[in-house]
Every structure is written in C-alpha cells, then in structure tokens.
Structure 1
Amino acid sequence: MSDISEPLRLAAIGDLHVTEDSHQRYRALFEEISEKADVLALCGDLTNFGKASEAEVLAEDLRGCTIPTVGVLGNHDYECGAPEEVVRILRQAGVTILDEQAVEIQGVGFAGVKGFVGGFGRGELGGFGERAIKAFVEESVNEARKLENGLRSLRTDRAVAVLHYAPIPETVAGEPAEIFPFLGSSRLADAVDRFDNVKAVVHGHAHRGTYEGRTRRGVPVFNCAQFVVNERFDRPYALLEI
C-alpha cells in the first residue's frame, strides 16, 4: 500500500454532451479546474452522439486542462457505434480511459467503467428466462466484474471508482421512478463494497438525480452530472477531497 497521505483534490464532472458546435465551450472551465484540483475525472456522456468529430472538439478543449485526467465513456458515447475511436481521440488528448485499466495518481488509485442498467436492490433484474434477458444481465454483470478487477489491481490506501451509470438508487432520486432500473445497477455498488480502500464513487447519467448518497457499506457516492452539481454549487463540477 502507498503511504502517501496528503489529501488529493478531485474535480469530477459528467454529461458534457459535446457536439460539433461546442467549440471552446469547456476550455475555460478546464483551465479553472486545473487551478482548483489535482485530478479531473470525466464521468461519461462526454459526447452527444459518440461521433469522432465531437470527441475532437472535446480533445481541443482539453488542451486547457493541465492536470491528470481520467474518465469513462457513457451511453451517448456509444450511439454511433464507434466508442473505440472516441477513446483513441481522448487518449491522444491525455485522458486515461479507465475501462480496462486502473491508474495511481499522487497516491490515490482510480478504477472505472461505464457500468450498465439493471436496477437496484430487490428490483435488480436476474438472468432468468429469455436469451435476450440473459444477455442483458450478462452485460451488467460484466461491467461490475471489470470494476471489481480494476479495484483489486490497485495497491493504494485510497481509491476512487469512476462510473457513468449509478451504483445506488439514492443518487438517481429525482428522476421518474419508472426509469430507475435504466439508470444503474446495484452490482456496481456490490463491487465497490468489496474493497476497504475505496473512499468515493463518482458517476453521472441521472441529470435530475440527487448529488450524494452512500453504498450499503457506507462509501460516499456523488452524482456528478453537471446539471445536478451546478444546481447545488453554482458550478458544473464537484470538488472532492480524497
């Protein structure tokens, strides 16, 4: 385990939804974040339709970010069927896309995945019945497994899980109850709760959700969709001390 104990300032933002017309929309914000935080976490839906041209617009704005940046994709980043190209462009811009890897920055470990739907608690969908249902649940299980593997690979005293979909229902409260099962999965929280060193979870996706909640084990979870954060802090990013 790392013995570095100085607090790390983490800025987290999700749901940028960059379009081809969003030139320099976030550059000044990234410059501001670089002055206030040590690390930036991007919590998915970075583009609006998953177009390479949208990712290039975001990559250009990220030139204003001078601190290490980690992130995950969101469902919008898959819309055009070219998430690999979005990842390639963002990696060239200096973003560490976590999905299949974890990273240590200033003594804090970061692991993350997009996540998937499936529901929460007793309402979580099980893999029984039709083939389509089983495939649906398998996707949810695989995302949780990737998160667990990433967290397990870290050897730090402190770790942060970066997600797009929510791991708990508390941070999607405010969205219509009917769509809760499509906003996240408890399987993600189960993965987090297996590790004592996880100090925080950040996610996006639920634009009308609630800023803060906790997993069953008590790990703080923050909904960092910019719409949620802006309403609470009058700025579109969360600023956490890890």
Structure 2
Amino acid sequence: MSQADRTLTSAKVRIAAMGDLHVKEQDSPSYKELFSEVSQEADILVLTGDLTDLGKPREAELLVADLRSCSIPVVGVLGNHDYECGHVEEVRAIIKSSGMHLLEGQAVDLNGVGFAGVKGFAGGFGRFMLSSFGEPAIKAMVAESVEESMRLENALRQIRSERAMVVLHYAPIVETVEGEPIEIYPFLGSSRLAETIDRFPVSAVVHGHAHRGKYSGKTPGGAPVYNVASHVEKPTGKAYALLDL
C-alpha cells in the first residue's frame, strides 16, 4: 500500500445520514437546500429508505430532481413505502439514474469506507423474534426476514475496507425503536440483522423506519446503531445525522 493509500485509509470520513424523506407528488417539501447544505457538511450522504411516500415513479423523479443539488456521493437503500404501488422496478431505475449507489444486497467502497446495504425486513427482536412455525403465511414472512439477512451477509463479505457501514431501512435492534408503540415492534425490524452484523467488523449501522424511535443503541456485539429517520431527534438538531468514520 502506498503512502497516499495509507493516508486515504486513515483519514476521517464524515457521513451525513437520514431516512424517511417520504417525497410526495404534491405538497412535498423540497430537499434541494438541505442536500446542498449536506454537501458542505459531509463527504458522503447516506439515505436509509422510504425515499418516496407511495412508491410512485413521479415521486422518485421529484427526489432525483432535488438530488441534483447534492455534490457528494450518495448511497442508499429502499424502504417499505418504496414498494407500495408495485412500481419498484421503475422507481429503482429512476433513483439509480441520479447516480445514487442503491444497495440491495451489494457493497460499494467510497473514500475508504465500505458500505453494505439491504432494506431488511420485519420479524421482531430477541426472544420475541418470530419463528418459522404454523401457517404458510408466517413461514413466508420469516423466510423473507432470513433472506434479507443472508443478502446482508453476502454484501458484508464483499467489503475489503478497514471501515464498514451497514445501511438498512428496518432496525436491527430494539433499542432504536423504543418510543414506538410496543405492539408494532415486530414490524419495525429484526434481530436477525444484528446477528449477521455481529459476525463482521462493522464501524456503524444506520437505519430509519421507526419515526418515533431513539437515535442510538448498540448490537449485542457492540456495533453502534443509529436511527436516522428524519423525524428522530439527533445531536445535530437537523434532519440528518453526522457520523465520522
């Protein structure tokens, strides 16, 4: 490794992270000024899903128009809202046309940081995690949760950087969904994601989805986890968090 490469690897990278923009066709706030501000504050922008409100192609087009004011690399994943209208393939294509690194079981290296991302899925946490038992519908739900965890594992295996960030929509731990009604915890994330994360050296995890959740927590293995949904209060006092890796 050259001296230049060592310097790049050791230099701190500032990441702005936020989720749950929920861009609508009408009466949606513009994110142009925010993305422009983020470009001055950070080296990379990470978006943690629910980029659109109903998964409509027009909503994705409005997001992409706002992203033109962002002059730094953008990494992101989709959320459950981005699937709502059944046009996810078109939404995906529109978002990728902006140059965003849209991760769906893949990894990308930017500025010496490896990003591994999946949407994730529901399933519950700890000893209350849903098991594959009973009706086919329950087994299908658990299978989807397991599949997302396997895709995350495959993405993490692709990372060669010393620093790694996991990008999710659903939460991997219960701590960062605290504040939401306890009855909906099983639909906000799954401990299976944390089990996968803890098999790898991960510097930080970001997710959204839980609008009333808590900003920070840790996986059982000690990886820092941040709920960066735009609605969650953050140390920055902004809609986005700033993380140095």
TM-score w.r.t. structure 2 length? 0.95
User: 1:72 and 1:111 mapped to 2: Cα distance?
Assistant: 10
- The secondary structure found in structure 2 opposite 1:189 is helix
Could you say which residue in structure 2 is the equivalent of 1:173? 178
Work out which of the residue numbers 222, 228, 232 in structure 2 matches 1:228: 232
Could you say which residue in structure 2 is the equivalent of 1:136? 141
Could you say which residue in structure 2 is the equivalent of 1:122? 127
Q: How many percent identity over aligned positions? A: 60
The one-letter code of the counterpart of 1:228 is: V
Moved more, 21-30 or 46-55: 21-30
**Residues 23 and 57 in structure 1, CA contact (< 8 A), matched pair in contact too:** no
Pair 1:57–1:27, CA change in 2 (3 A): same
- The secondary structure found in structure 2 opposite 1:109 is strand
The one-letter code of the counterpart of 2:228 is: C
**Residues 120 and 169 in structure 1, CA contact (< 8 A), matched pair in contact too:** yes
Could you say which residue in structure 1 is the equivalent of 2:240? 237
Residues 1:211 and 2:244 aligned together = no
Gaps (5+ residues) in structure 2? none
RMSD of aligned alpha carbons: 1.3
- Give 1:39-54 correspondences, 5 Å limit: 39-54=44-59
- The secondary structure found in structure 2 opposite 1:202 is strand
User: 2:238 and 2:212 mapped to 1: Cα distance?
Assistant: 16
Q: C-alpha displacement at 1:24, in angstroms? A: 6.4
Work out which of the residue numbers 98, 104, 108 in structure 1 matches 2:103: 98
- Give 1:14-29 correspondences, 5 Å limit: 14-21=19-26, 25-29=30-34
Residues 1:62 and 2:60 aligned together = no
User: 2:31 and 2:196 mapped to 1: Cα distance?
Assistant: 32
User: 2:89 and 2:220 mapped to 1: Cα distance?
Assistant: 34
- Give 1:179-198 correspondences, 5 Å limit: 179-196=184-201, 198=202
4+ aligned runs moved over 6 Å, structure 1: none
**Residues 179 and 213 in structure 2, CA contact (< 8 A), matched pair in contact too:** yes
Q: C-alpha displacement at 1:22, in angstroms? A: 5.0
- The secondary structure found in structure 1 opposite 2:213 is coil
**Residues 236 and 242 in structure 2, CA contact (< 8 A), matched pair in contact too:** no
Deviations 1:124-150 (A, max 9, x none): 001111111110100000001111110
Deviations 1:14-60 (A, max 9, x none): 00000012566100000000001000000000000000000000000
TM-score w.r.t. structure 1 length? 0.96
User: 1:82 and 1:195 mapped to 2: Cα distance?
Assistant: 34
**Residues 121 and 189 in structure 2, CA contact (< 8 A), matched pair in contact too:** yes
User: 1:5 and 1:99 mapped to 2: Cα distance?
Assistant: 28
**Residues 224 and 238 in structure 1, CA contact (< 8 A), matched pair in contact too:** yes
- The secondary structure found in structure 2 opposite 1:99 is coil
Deviations 1:204-230 (A, max 9, x none): 000000000000010000000011035
User: 1:13 and 1:225 mapped to 2: Cα distance?
Assistant: 6
Q: C-alpha displacement at 1:94, in angstroms? A: 1.1
The one-letter code of the counterpart of 1:211 is: Y
**Residues 23 and 61 in structure 1, CA contact (< 8 A), matched pair in contact too:** no
- The secondary structure found in structure 2 opposite 1:119 is coil
- Give 1:28-43 correspondences, 5 Å limit: 28-43=33-48
User: 2:193 and 2:28 mapped to 1: Cα distance?
Assistant: 34
